Homo-oligomer: A and B are copies of this chain.
């Protein structure tokens, strides 16, 4: 038996752009649209033509999509003029998008206070706008703004708006919980009522997360008959965000038996698409995100870890590989011995579990995490620590001293210039290298000087790249005297990545330690012999 279909409509590029702190460029929008298309999303709302220069540029030269349909968002015509004479509406209809999604009022209170027109004129605005849109676009849908608040206040009018949209040719009538205050049992009951007047396979749902129920509300609507879901990647969106498609997709497919059109390959891409958005936004991915977060299948408690090793079903609700995620055994203060031993197997370190050094490593990890180190995310630093205590790590170089100078002053031409300069003294075997370099900041200057000192003996460091540099203040109440934790992610020429950590009251000291660890890790993994 074929599975029932639920359609997905992504609004990351439009409603997601309303998020505080988010501001998409045109290349951002193109890259995200392509990723959504590869994932297999049915509809991609690209923006609002006519509302701002970015959206105009995007629709002016839209990305080629292989299967998703690009949708342009807009508003129904204003009161008191014809649809064809409304410049806002016409900007939307004149875009090249084949799908048009128009939003209109369905709450009587908004019609009378915000639009200052009669309820009847509002119905005409919906009908006129959708009919004209139907002549211009291949597919038209209607977003019922404030539908649930509207239904509670005046069910007859809210239903009349939905019904008018249906009769005016809208393929989808999308019920929006615009203020996000409706609870799941209300959504389920109201959608079930609407489905008596508009067929369920023409109904969509659009939820916001203001009560932390956007995902549950979307599922409740589907259970009541709706067959289209509007949402965003990672729940991006104004205020508390929109319904998170990344959470909805696995529940719909793996747990509720629906087909959302993305197939098993799409599902396996889900984690990567979620991360890609965070990278575009320079956002720290949410470790705790359902299904795709780094911690979503992480096991910290020692008891869980031993049970998981017996049978993963005992503490995992789905197989993480289905959504491109992986199980993760966490090394941390709460770590029991079984966690530490599981990590050893992951990094290929063979050690007798009864070796007393294992206990002493557990103690050291606890002490260092107490000081502010975080081995949760810095696997390379953990491996160096473990190998130094249990095995052996070659001493490739010894940083004897460094000095960084950072100066802002006016130059001879009267321009304000900032200069960072670093000198390092590094012992390599029997030789000492003393080098100086400039940089556009103190950490960059140090990095340049250290590589300059090492590259003669270890040519591989030239291809090592720093891809992320994170600073975390651990005792914010101490202001600029706070303890600083620096995590550095590095990449080699083959694309392998690893993360190291440094902790100090001095941000440069912490950076220097993390950088030194990163280089040592790379040389060790590459099997390089220390210079004599």
Contacts and interface: CB of A to CB of B under 8 A. Distances in A.
Contacts of A471: 471, 473
A444 B238 contact: no
Contacts of A300: 18-20, 238
Given A18-B334, A282-B476, A401-B409, A506 B213 contact: no
A132 interface: no
A239 B418 contact: no
A480 B469 contact: yes
Interface in A162-195: 178-181, 183-185
A465 B479 CA distance: 7
A357 interface: no
A465 to B, nearest CB: 6
Given A212-B290, A473-B468, A473-B471, A297 B181 contact: no
A84 B301 CA distance: 26
Nearest to A465: B479
- Copies of this chain present in the complex amount to 2
Nearest to A471: B471
Contacts of A408: 399, 401-403, 509, 512
A507 B484 CA distance: 13
Nearest to A328: B20
B317 A179 contact: yes
Interface stretch (A197-205, A216-224, A380-388, A454-462): A216-224
B480 A181 contact: no
A406 B508 contact: yes
A442 B406 contact: yes
Interface string A254-295: 011000000000000000000000010010000111110111
A332 to B, nearest CB: 7
A420 B506 contact: yes
Interface in A354-412: 369-370, 374, 376-377, 399-410
A489 B294 CA distance: 30
B240 A317 contact: no
A296 interface: yes
Interface in A24-38: none
Nearest to A420: B506
Nearest to A213: B216
Contacts of A293: 239-240
B401 A404 contact: no
Contact of A466 (B420, B439, B479): B479
Contacts of A20: 287, 294-295, 298, 300, 330, 332, 376
Contacts of A131: none
Given A239-B293, A239-B298, A282-B473, 12 more contacts: A211-B290, A211-B291, A235-B288, A238-B299, A240-B290, A282-B474, A403-B408, A406-B506, A440-B506, A442-B442, A467-B476, A467-B479
7 contacts: A18-B301, A21-B332, A181-B318, A183-B251, A216-B216, A282-B472, A441-B480
A-B interface, 10 closest residue pairs, ranked by CB to CB distance from nearest: A181-B317, A466-B479, A216-B216, A401-B409, A471-B471, A212-B247, A441-B506, A212-B290, A444-B480, A179-B317
